[in-house]
Chain A
Amino acid sequence: MVRVEEVIDESPTVRTLIFNDTLCANAKPGQFTMVWMPRIDEIPMSVMIAEKDGNAALTIRKHGPTSTALYNTEVNSFLGVRGPYGNSFDAKKGSILLVGGGTGLVPLMRLSKLLVKKKSNITFIMGSRSKDEVIFEKFAKKILREGKGKIIVTTEDGSYGVNGLATDAAAKAIEKNDFDMIYTCGPERMMKKVIETAVNNGIPSQASLERLMKCGIGICCSCCIGRYLVCKDGPVINGEEVLKLSEFGLYARDKSGRIADMW
């Protein structure tokens, strides 16, 4: 169990919970932890970076009962964390495009830190619905200040930054630049567009996927998509492989394992 040391309000619906845990602090970008709220639920969460060494964080948007319970976690409460599990983004040196939407920005934040260390040149597109929902902009600026890179914030309603979708900003950036690698995480249809653009332009890409998860360790199959298990083979999967998955962007298995319309 870990003790929540600090709670940060990122937006009216998003909070970050900071805790001390060496394993999570050293998680690789993309890796997730299974977070246990005693007698409530246990869910997979990408491990967010924290400013202080040895600390890690969870960033949660409240939408259903479980995420709302986690969102409402108070300082000094205890959470179970197991892991981190799963693979990670393969951080490349070079000219890099990051495209994230909403809390899908979490693994890209950890990745951006690693890319800065590798002296990559980063273009970081941070998508959100509106000004209120823009998260991590300051933190990302702080990380990128130590290296080369720029941040493009997009809002769907045009209330802040570039008016429009993250995918449109990504397409423009790809047109103007020669990227060596593209990483994306966020809503599945957003990722699908980003990867299609990457593949069409011959740029290698990776996406971090999310599926319903139970065991987190590769034995229950709840998170399978095609031949992959998101918890073991993923969550990060190469773009070209992702596009071969007929379920991607359309369907996901529900709690019973039936393939259902999810979006």
Chain B
Amino acid sequence: MLEKDVDLSVEIAGLRIRNPTMLASGILGISYEVFKRVYEAGAGAIVSKSISVEPMEGYKNPTVVSVECGYINAVGLSNPGVDAFVKEIANNDSVPIIVNLVGSTEDEFVSMVKKFDNLNILAYELNLSCPHVAKVGLEVGDDHELVSRIVRSMKSNTKKPVIVKVGLGASDIVETARVSRDAGADAITAINTIRAMTIDIETGMPVLSNRIGGLSGKAIKPVAVRCVYEISKNVGLPVIGCGGVYSWEDAVEFMLAGASAVQMGSVIGEKWFDAFKNVTKGLGSYLAKRGMKSASELVGLAHKY
């Protein structure tokens, strides 16, 4: 099979995207002009930063620190708020944008959906897994009754797919995915960053201003692969894998574990916009060598062993 005959497009929750790579939420996610650039660079879809009802300034610097195996960040969900972000993407004509939302109550989520729903966007991703801001993210994700209420009210206020981004909190990640499914979620993104910290030994002080942040990058990949595997095997929803995807090999591994697509974040710090083409190119030749016509044939192949 020739590489050019391989179909890299994949379907998730009824959406067809041109290839399985996505820009992960939190990375480069506030400027429409930058979204266009990421799309031109080859991403299949772009997930925005987490958008909240009111603008959030985030934490003081340092908000991102590089460690030997990835990054730890506590940006603090800085975002321009729903109204400014609606304006930012109001004239979107070509970019497949998934809007990531963050909030504490179902009312907050619904009020934002009402403002976004007429725009040219693909889907919503709910951040129920940010590990470093109080009362949102993981604190919501761990409260399964609240998860259920939020997903249900989202579903009754939009026809667009609702994706729930889950992480490693106090509750079982597979159970959070299951609760999301039962409430009507269309897909799961797994995983978010994992609570972590780093301390400077010269001064004895925590580096991040928030002291604790979320670990991303190579360090969390095996954990993320396990979560994708367990969720896709046991929950029966499409899964988007996220956590340490740096190369096409990583993408293949996530897809074998059951991911229909992968999100990329930390790798941008190293490979910049080339990250997407690096993955799609390698994936194409991997599939061609194995005589596989479509990227979607890979999804969940490891489940049978």
A interface residues with partner B (beta carbon < 8 Å): 1, 34, 36, 38-39, 41-43, 78, 80, 82, 214-222, 224, 226-227, 229, 232, 253-259
Interface centre among A38, A227, A255, A257 (most CB of B within 10 A): A257
CB atoms of A257 and B272 under 8 A apart:
no
In the bound complex, residues from chain A placing their C-beta under 8 Å from that of B61 are 34, 36, 41-43, 214
Chain A residue, CB-CB nearest to B34: A224
CB atoms of A78 and B64 under 8 A apart:
no
CB atoms of A227 and B33 under 8 A apart:
yes
CA–CA, A214 to B28, complex, Å? 12
CB atoms of B30 and A224 under 8 A apart:
yes
With A41-B60, A227-B36, A255-B57 already in contact, the answer to whether A218 and B49 are too (CB < 8 A) is: no
CB atoms of A36 and B207 under 8 A apart:
yes
In the bound complex, residues from chain B placing their C-beta under 8 Å from that of A42 are 61-63
With A1-B203, A43-B61, A214-B61 already in contact, the answer to whether A82 and B66 are too (CB < 8 A) is: yes
Instruction: Tell me whether B121 is interfacial, beta carbon within 8 Å.
Output: no
In the bound complex, residues from chain A placing their C-beta under 8 Å from that of B176 are none
B contact residues, total (Cβ < 8 Å): 40
Partner of B56, one of A214, A220, A256: A256
Contacts A214-B58, A258-B55 aside, 14 further interface pairs with beta carbons under 8 A come to A1-B203, A78-B202, A78-B203, A217-B64, A219-B28, A219-B266, A220-B64, A221-B30, A227-B31, A254-B57, A256-B78, A256-B81, A257-B30, A259-B84
Give, as a whole number of angstroms, the nearest-CB distance from B7 to chain A.
Answer: 30
Give, as a whole number of angstroms, the nearest-CB distance from A114 to chain B.
Answer: 26
With A38-B200, A78-B202, A219-B269 already in contact, the answer to whether A257 and B34 are too (CB < 8 A) is: no
Residues 199-233 of B, flagged 1 when their CB comes within 8 A of A and 0 if not, give 01011010101000000000000000000000000
9 nearest A-B residue pairs (beta carbon) = A42-B61, A256-B55, A255-B57, A257-B30, A215-B64, A227-B33, A257-B80, A42-B62, A258-B80
With A1-B202, A214-B63, A255-B57 already in contact, the answer to whether A232 and B272 are too (CB < 8 A) is: yes
Instruction: Give chain B interface residues in 264-296, CB to chain A under 8 Å.
Output: 265-266, 268-269, 272
Partner of A221, one of B34, B71, B73: B34
CB atoms of B27 and A256 under 8 A apart:
no
Residues 10-33 of B, flagged 1 when their CB comes within 8 A of A and 0 if not, give 000000000000000011111101
* 11 residue pairs from A and B, CB less than 8 Å apart: A34-B62, A215-B64, A218-B268, A219-B28, A221-B30, A221-B31, A221-B49, A227-B33, A253-B30, A255-B58, A257-B79
Instruction: Tell me whether B37 is interfacial, beta carbon within 8 Å.
Output: yes
CB atoms of A256 and B79 under 8 A apart:
yes
B interface residues with partner A (beta carbon < 8 Å): 26-31, 33-34, 36-37, 49, 55-58, 60-64, 66, 71, 73, 75, 78-81, 84, 200, 202-203, 205, 207, 209, 265-266, 268-269, 272
CB atoms of B30 and A39 under 8 A apart:
no
Give, as a whole number of angstroms, the nearest-CB distance from B151 to chain A.
Answer: 27
In the bound complex, residues from chain B placing their C-beta under 8 Å from that of A255 are 57-58, 78
Chain A residue, CB-CB nearest to B54: A256
CA–CA, A171 to B40, complex, Å? 39
With A221-B28, A222-B78, A227-B34 already in contact, the answer to whether A39 and B272 are too (CB < 8 A) is: no
Give, as a whole number of angstroms, the nearest-CB distance from A231 to chain B.
Answer: 11
CA–CA, A257 to B57, complex, Å? 8
CB atoms of B27 and A219 under 8 A apart:
yes
CB atoms of A258 and B28 under 8 A apart:
no
CB atoms of B79 and A214 under 8 A apart:
no
CB atoms of B268 and A226 under 8 A apart:
no
CB atoms of B269 and A258 under 8 A apart:
no
CA–CA, A219 to B31, complex, Å? 12
CA–CA, A218 to B38, complex, Å? 12
With A41-B61, A43-B61, A224-B31 already in contact, the answer to whether A258 and B78 are too (CB < 8 A) is: no
In the bound complex, residues from chain A placing their C-beta under 8 Å from that of B200 are 1, 38, 80
In the bound complex, residues from chain B placing their C-beta under 8 Å from that of A34 are 61-62
CA–CA, A36 to B241, complex, Å? 34
Give, as a whole number of angstroms, the nearest-CB distance from B76 to chain A.
Answer: 10
CA–CA, A217 to B26, complex, Å? 14
Chain A residue, CB-CB nearest to B64: A215
In the bound complex, residues from chain B placing their C-beta under 8 Å from that of A41 are 60-61, 209
Give, as a whole number of angstroms, the nearest-CB distance from B58 to chain A.
Answer: 6
In the bound complex, residues from chain B placing their C-beta under 8 Å from that of A257 are 30-31, 49, 55, 78-80, 84
CA–CA, A109 to B29, complex, Å? 35
In the bound complex, residues from chain B placing their C-beta under 8 Å from that of A1 are 200, 202-203
